[in-house]
Chain A
Amino acid sequence: DGGITQSPKYLFRKEGQNVTLSCEQNLNHDAMYWYRQDPGQGLRLIYYSQIVNDFQKGDIAEGYSVSREKKESFPLTVTSAQKNPTAFYLCASSMVARGTGLGYTFGSGTRLTVV
């Protein structure tokens, strides 16, 4: 079955460390997205990519980096520059198809905690 997989489900980071969150999809979707979710804040867009080897900053890109070397994969690195990284991170994907009702398909999330 096609889907979008995030790993790990739980991740612990020490102060000053970089960590990378994995997101893989086998839906043949063109676009991929990273969101951060904090209680009461809803979803905030970190980065998105509509095509391989290209990506754009979202609303809260500072302290994060991404790459899109393959269509299936869109890893997110939380760098030491991100001062408050504890949150729930969600990856999503979609077809780039204007004028359709296709929504985003979400992964099951990674909960990152700074220790």
Chain B
Amino acid sequence: GEDVEQSLFLSVREGDSSVINCTYTDSSSTYLYWYKQEPGAGLQLLTYIFSNMDMKQDQRLTVLLNKKDKHLSLRIADTQTGDSAIYFCAERGRDDKIIFGKGTRLHILP
């Protein structure tokens, strides 16, 4: 079945780059997404990438997609304290539903 896997925790020093990784199983995924959740809030769409692209950049965010390995990553340059949140990877599968990973909690060290 469809599944999205990501590590649960990541600690990064302020000013460094953060790289959050994700793997998915559905080779027919059309779109892949990154969502951000701040404490006590809902999920906010950060960015998405179409499956025929291998990279997308938006200011401090870079998304890399390796379709052969079914691997997606989100790089946050110059990580700030405001980037502290849970980041969810998600894929839009063959039935058009979006499947979410369990989320990676990003902790920023001073």
- Of the candidates B42, B98, B103, the one whose C-beta lies within 8 Å of that of A103 is B98
Contacts of A94 in B (CB 8 A): 98
A residues less than 8 Å from B92 (CB atoms): 101
Query: Does B82 interact with chain A (Cβ within 8 Å)?
Result: no
The complex places the Cα of A52 from the Cα of B55 at a distance, in Å, of: 38
Q: Let me know if A40 and B98 touch, CB within 8 A.
A: no
Tell me whether A90 and B103 are in contact in the complex, defined as CB-CB below 8 angstroms, given that A103-B33, A103-B98 are known contacts: no
**Shortest CB–CB separation between residue B3 and chain A, in angstroms?**
11
A42 touches B96 (CB 8 A): no
B31 cross-chain contacts in A, Cβ below 8 A? 101, 103
Whether B100 sits at the interface, judged by CB under 8 Å, is yes
A40 touches B8 (CB 8 A): yes
B35 contacts which chain A residues (CB < 8 A)? 103, 106
Q: Flag if B42 contacts A107 (CB, 8 Å).
A: yes
Q: Is the pair A42, B50 in contact by a Cβ cutoff of 8 Å?
A: no
Distance to closest chain B CB from A39 (angstroms): 10
Q: Mark A67-109, 1 if CB is under 8 A from B, else 0.
A: 0000000000000000000000010101010110101111111
User: When the two chains form their complex, are residues A109 and B42 in contact, meaning their CB atoms are under 8 A apart?
Assistant: yes
Whether A41 sits at the interface, judged by CB under 8 Å, is yes
Name the residue among A6, A104, A106 with the largest chain B CB count within 10 angstroms. Answer: A104
A106 and B100 form a contact (CB under 8 A): no
Do residues A43 and B88 form an inter-chain contact, with CB atoms below 8 A?
Answer: yes
Give chain A nearest CB distance to B42 CB in angstroms.
4
Which of A99, A104, A105, A109 lies in contact with B40, CB distance below 8 A? Answer: A109
Given A99-B30, A101-B31, A103-B48: A40 and B43 interface contact (C-beta under 8 Å): no
From A42, A96, A104, B98 is in contact (CB under 8 Å) with A104
Q: List 5 A-B contacts (CB under 8 A).
A: A90-B42, A90-B43, A92-B42, A101-B31, A111-B40
